[in-house]
A and B are shown apart, each in its own frame.
Chain A
Amino acid sequence: NAGVMQNPRHLVRRRGQEARLRCSPMKGHSHVYWYRQLPEEGLKFMVYLQKENIIDESGMPKERFSAEFPKEGPSILRIQQVVRGDSAAYFCASSPPRGLYNEQFFGPGTRLTVL
């Protein structure tokens, strides 16, 4: 039973380029969450998606960042016109359809470096 998969594991971009991060949830999981971890800090919530729907994007920066979880395929976190401050580890988590206390299972993360 494969866990949450993220790719690429490492991504290097120059300022102004676009970054696309992919997340495939665990089998049977229909809920996806994206978190960002800056160096020496805890993870910060960005967005919560279900298939074809954004449920909560209150943690997403207002500009340049977008996320989707299409009916088919992985969830995508897109960062347009990257800046140095976007350098961080981006983690995706998934959970099964909502129960009372749903554990979120994390992927290994994508480490984005902006030169």
Chain B
Amino acid sequence: QQQVKQSPQSLIVQKGGISIINCAYENTAFDYFPWYQQFPGKGPALLIAIRPDVSEKKEGRFTISFNKSAKQFSLHIMDSQPGDSATYFCAPFETSGSRLTFGEGTQLTVNP
């Protein structure tokens, strides 16, 4: 059962462009929606997260948009930079439980 589906699998963007990564989930019990960033050889690190009572959250160049009725949330990276090149994971969480449920990841490459 694929609870979390992330798209696209890979994304190539020019420097200064907008990167958009989408995440669709099935479990309506999820109530915390983070995005993690992972560089090669490193562990994932929390980038930005949203609670279900808001539809959008912005932190610097990073924005999460959340659509509860569609059970989807997305990550937007404005003014993408080569240093943003990494793998991004959505990992919705059910606070009554204990686990992050990771999507399969999106490998982002930002060309200079």
Q: Which A residues fall within an 8 A CB radius of B?
A: 4, 33, 35, 40-45, 48, 55-56, 59, 91, 93, 100-109
Contact = CB atoms under 8 A, between A and B. Distances in A.
A45 B89 CA distance: 14
Interface residues of B, number: 26
Interface in B81-110: 89, 91, 93, 95, 97-105
B104 to A, nearest CB: 5
A47 to B, nearest CB: 9
Contacts of A48: 98-99
A58 to B, nearest CB: 8
Contacts of A93: 43
B97 A108 contact: no
Nearest to B43: A106
Interface stretch (B11-19, B44-52, B63-71, B72-80): B44-52
A56 B99 contact: yes
B43 A56 contact: no
A108 B4 CA distance: 24
